[in-house]
Structure 1
């Protein structure tokens, strides 16, 4: 996951936390987190990147709407990232006590 941007990692977290979200649902979640509008020119190329890396699968709900699911590899990458974060955040929290 070292080659992902923070935005791409956030996309993975959103997809992993939802049941086959479509692009606009992912966009809405990210806008809530970033408190800014996410334009289509930013979202969809980044979705394509995580699909191309094998972290997400894209399916077709209908002719106009795609949905996204996390792959097993994407899930493993997220778990590894969370373990890394827990290591550093855990140290930070234990040092502040």
Structure 2
């Protein structure tokens, strides 16, 4: 996960938190978090990146709508990141 941007990490967290969200659902969740609009030119290339890195799988809900699901590699990457963060954050 060290080679991902913060935005790409946020994509993983959001996708992990939902059951096969659509790109639109991911976009809406991130817009709530970022307090602003996330345009398609930012969202979909970054989704493609995490798919290409095999951290997320992409499937088809219907002809117009894709879903995204975290892969085992994606879950492992999140877990490794959380372990690394926990060294520096005492909650």
Q: TM-score, normalised by structure 1?
A: 0.92
Question: Which segments of 5 or more consecutive residues in structure 1 lack a partner in the other structure?
Answer: none
Partner in structure 2 of residue 37 of structure 1: 37
Runs of 4+ in 1 over 2 A off after TM superposition: none
Provide the C-alpha distance between the structure 1 equivalents of 2:87 and 2:32, rounded to a whole number of angstroms. Answer: 27
Q: Tell which structure's C-alpha radius of gyration is larger.
A: 1
Could you tell me which residue of structure 1 aligns to residue 81 of structure 2?
81
Q: Is there any run of 5+ residues in structure 2 with no aligned partner, and where?
A: none
TM-score of the two chains, using structure 2 as the length reference: 0.98
Q: In structure 2, what is the Cα distance between the partners aligned to 1:18 and 1:87?
A: 27
- Equivalent pairs counted in the alignment come to 91
Rounded Cα–Cα distance in structure 2 between residues aligned with 1:83 and 1:35: 28
The reply on whether 1:53 has 2:14 as its aligned counterpart is no
Higher helix share: 1
Q: Deviations over 1:60-93 (max 9, x none)?
A: 0000000000000000000000111111012xx6
C-alpha distance after superposition, 1:11-69 (max 9, x if no partner): 00000000000000000000000001000000000000000000000000000000000
The CA RMSD over aligned residues, in Å, is 0.7
Secondary structure of 2:89 counterpart: helix
Q: 2:46, 2:33 → 1: CA distance?
A: 17
